[in-house]
Amino acid sequence: MFVGCGLRLIQSKYLCDLNFNCAITGIRKLCYQAPPTKEKLSHKIGFIGDGNMAKAICNSMVKKGVVQYSQIYVSSPYKKNLHVWETWKTNVSLDNGDVAEKAEIIFIAVKPHMLQEVMDLLITKRKDQIKNKLFVSVLAGVTISSLEKFISNFEKCRVIRVMPNTPMTVGEGCTVYTPGQNVTEDDISNVITILEKAGMCRRVPEYMINAVTALISSGPAFAYLIIEALSDGAVKMGVYRDISTEMAAQTVLGAAKMVLKSQKHVGDLKDDVCSAGGTTIAGIHALEKKGVRGALMDAIEAATKRADELGQKAKDQ
């Protein structure tokens, strides 16, 4: 019992250190090392690929006043998908080359298997115009060395690998990045200006990024599933659907804020809710019998392995 409490205290201290940047060494120090961010960017920002992630990054930048829609250049071969970007009055094109030529910071936001085709076409058609550009990849699994290989016609291509998530749209994003070898401090500052305004942003060593992808980029989908299931349970027990989903979401949001702000270990927070012989411990017992922790750990493992596979496929192209 004494040993258990001691451990919890040590873990609790560990989490506080993480939250408050104290006693940070090695890799943890790297996570917090970053050049200062800026208020606004005057650059032209490009998106090759116009889907969910591109929209989340674009809208978060504009909402936070980092850029205006008129500074955004976006391309996709599908006119239908570009329609919403036209309504925002961004600069749209059916030709990726236009974006790569006009923009200075270019987000690659296509599916990982499209990368080779997209880059080959760019390099064939616009090689001279896209030298000296900063490329920012959001592609799951694809390594910096693969990205540099695809852009290798430029001697010193500048690439930053970023892993964002869609909650950026509401200012609650969680993003990580790893800079390639040729990027400058100013490149990093520009990119983290975009990412930090949208929520938490940390630098990580590249070997961690696939596991972090599973946690932060796939993670919102896992959380939606949990919220939906909690809501379903309440509906089963007689609560109206229109209030149950809202209350499930607010409860998860509140619990997340307690973890981030209370300075307590997450296990202590759980214990605070579990009254002896009460309702919560009965529910916890039901969850543990179904192996909910193992299922969530399996989800992170499966998503990490899939990111590894996507990266390997890109390497083999």
Ligand X SMILES: NC(=O)C1=CN([C@@H]2O[C@H](COP(=O)(O)OP(=O)(O)OC[C@H]3O[C@@H](n4cnc5c(N)ncnc54)[C@H](O)[C@@H]3O)[C@@H](O)[C@H]2O)C=CC1
Ligand Y SMILES: O=C(O)[C@@H]1CCC=N1
Residues that bind ligand Y (CB under 6 A): 140, 213, 217-218
Task: Choose among ligand X, ligand Y, none what residue 32 binds, the Cβ cut-off being 5 to 8 Å by kind.
Answer: none
Q: Is 109 annotated as a binding residue?
A: yes
**Beta bridge mates, 163:** 176
Task: Choose among ligand Y, ligand X, none what residue 122 binds, the Cβ cut-off being 5 to 8 Å by kind.
Answer: none
- Looking at beta carbons only, is 190 or 210 nearer to ligand X? 210
Distance CA 152, CA 260 (A): 42
Q: Is 50 annotated as a binding residue?
A: yes
Task: Choose among ligand X, ligand Y, none what residue 210 binds, the Cβ cut-off being 5 to 8 Å by kind.
Answer: none
- Taking Cα atoms as reference points, which of 203, 154, 157 lies closest to residue 182? 157
| CB 77 within 8 Å of CB 94 | yes
Q: Is 182 annotated as a binding residue?
A: no
Does residue 167 bind ligand X (CB under 6 A)?
Answer: no
In terms of C-beta density within 10 A (0-12 exposed, 13-18 middle, 19 or more buried), how is residue 286 classed?
A: exposed
Distance CA 209, CA 163 (A): 8
- Closest CB to ligand X belongs to which residue? 51
Task: Choose among ligand X, ligand Y, none what residue 81 binds, the Cβ cut-off being 5 to 8 Å by kind.
Answer: ligand X
Q: How far is the CB of 22 from ligand Y (least distance, A)?
A: 31
How many other CB atoms are there within 10 angstroms of residue 263's CB atom? 13
- Looking at beta carbons only, is 174 or 194 nearer to ligand Y? 174
Does residue 92 bind ligand X (CB under 6 A)?
Answer: no
| CB 158 within 8 Å of CB 135 | yes
Residue of the chain from 17, 18, 51, 203 that contacts ligand X (CB under 6 A): 51
The identity of residue 21, as a single letter, is N
Q: Is 74 annotated as a binding residue?
A: no
Q: For residue 282, how far is the Cα from the chain centroid? A: 35
Task: Choose among ligand X, ligand Y, none what residue 114 binds, the Cβ cut-off being 5 to 8 Å by kind.
Answer: ligand X
Residue of the chain from 138, 188, 198, 314 that contacts ligand X (CB under 6 A): 138
Does residue 78 bind ligand X (CB under 6 A)?
Answer: yes
Task: Choose among ligand X, ligand Y, none what residue 52 binds, the Cβ cut-off being 5 to 8 Å by kind.
Answer: ligand X
Does residue 114 bind ligand X (CB under 6 A)?
Answer: yes
The H-or-E segment that residue 212 falls in is helix 209-212
How many Cα atoms are found within 13 Å in the side-chain-facing hemisphere of 74?
A: 29
Handedness of CA 44, 146, 302, 280 (dihedral sign): negative
User: What single string gives the DSSP state of each residue in 57-93?
Assistant: HHHHHHHTTSS-GGGEEEE-S-HHHHHHHHHTT-EEE
Three-state SS at 45: strand
Does residue 164 bind ligand X (CB under 6 A)?
Answer: yes
Residue of the chain from 37, 41, 45, 50 that contacts ligand X (CB under 6 A): 50
Q: Is 110 annotated as a binding residue?
A: yes
Does residue 157 bind ligand X (CB under 6 A)?
Answer: no
Distance CA 221, CA 166 (A): 10
- Count residues near ligand X (CB under 6 A): 27
Q: Is 120 annotated as a binding residue?
A: no
Q: Is 238 annotated as a binding residue?
A: no
Residues that bind ligand X (CB under 6 A): 48-54, 75-78, 81, 96, 109-112, 114, 118, 138-140, 163-166, 217
